[in-house]
Amino acid sequence: MLTFTPEQRRRFAADIDGDYRPKTKKPIVLVGLMGSGKTALGKRLSVALSLPFVDSDAIIEEKSGLLIRNIFEISGEAKFREMEHKTILSNLKSSPVILSTGGGAFCNPKTRKAIKTHAISVWLDAKPTDLLHRIGNTSSRPLLNTGDSLQILSDLRQHRMADYQQAELHVRTGRHSLRLSMKKILNILEQYSYIEALSDKNGK
Ligand code: S3P
């Protein structure tokens, strides 16, 4: 679980309109390609709903003492997917959390099944050019360093689309500000009665 400094909390809270509380005990799991905003929005959602924030990539790095790109280099992608599956599974069955997953997690059939069974899945989607714009430096993303990053992202999006579409809720993050993306996520969660607003959307 990641803890935030008071300064981070203030910064995240500035992107949240209104007060909300969860109406479900299920974890909320963010899925989607690299650069779709899973981590940035997950942190803000955790502050908005006063739920712990966990990030599967961060847990894997912390537990193994290795960077994701080193795990890919040393042990290969299949081993990484196994570690990712175990990490996600162990966070689905504890108390409610906001869980941000690595981009390929929901494309692993057994991980996807576990998420769909135990959690509310939210797919964050954006065009490849917007994803790459947000990622910026690709050096920490091993899958993007084997050729033209934009082409790889386009191919991945096409290959993974059918998997991501199985997420329960879909939100386009595009090039929106974090504040606008937060509004969209909170609105859809409220619409599905997974959360409720405690004050009106203007924070009054
Ligand atoms: C991956 C996405 C990465 C990380 C790993 C593999 C993928 O996470 O898990 O490099 O398969 O799309 P982010 O989506 O958080 O960048």
Q: For the segment 74-107, what is each residue's pLDDT rounded down to a tens digit? A: 999 999 999 999 999 999 987 899 999 999 999 9
β-strand 195-197 against 20-22: which pairing, if any? antiparallel
Question: What residue's CA is closest to ligand 1, atom 15?
Answer: 102
Q: Are 138 and 145 within 8 A, CB to CB?
A: yes
Ligand 1 proximal residues by C-beta, below 6 Å: 34, 38, 57, 68, 102-104, 141-143
pLDDT at 203: 47
Q: Are 108 and 80 within 8 A, CB to CB?
A: no
pLDDT at 94: 73
* Minimum-distance ligand 1 atom for the alpha carbon of 135: 16
Going along the chain, which residue ranges are E strands? Answer: 20-22, 28-31, 53-55, 98-100, 120-125, 169-172, 195-197
| List of the chain residues with pLDDT < 70 | 199-204
Q: Which residues contact 27 (CB under 8 A, 6 or more apart)?
A: 91, 92, 96, 97, 98, 99, 118, 119, 120
* Minimum-distance ligand 1 atom for the alpha carbon of 101: 15
- Ligand 1 site-directed mutation target among 33, 54, 57, 149, most atoms within 8 Å of CB: 57
Q: How far is the CA of 19 from the centre of ligand 1 (A)?
A: 31
Q: Are 27 and 1 within 8 A, CB to CB?
A: no
Burial group, residue 116, by CB count within 10 angstroms (0-12, 13-18, 19+): middle
In whole angstroms, give the CA distance from residue 121 to residue 165: 10
pLDDT at 204: 43
Q: How far is the CA of 17 from the centre of ligand 1 (A)?
A: 29
Residue 3 CA neighbour count, 13 Å, CB half:
2
Question: What residue's CA is closest to ligand 1, atom 8?
Answer: 102
pLDDT at 2: 84
Question: What residue's CA is closest to ligand 1, atom 4?
Answer: 102
In 3D space, the residue among 97, 24, 20, 95 whose CA is nearest the CA of residue 58 turns out to be: 97
Integer CA distances (angstroms), 22 to 25, 43, 189, 190, 193, in order: 8, 15, 9, 9, 9
Tokens of 155: 């191919």
β-strand 53-55 against 98-100: which pairing, if any? parallel
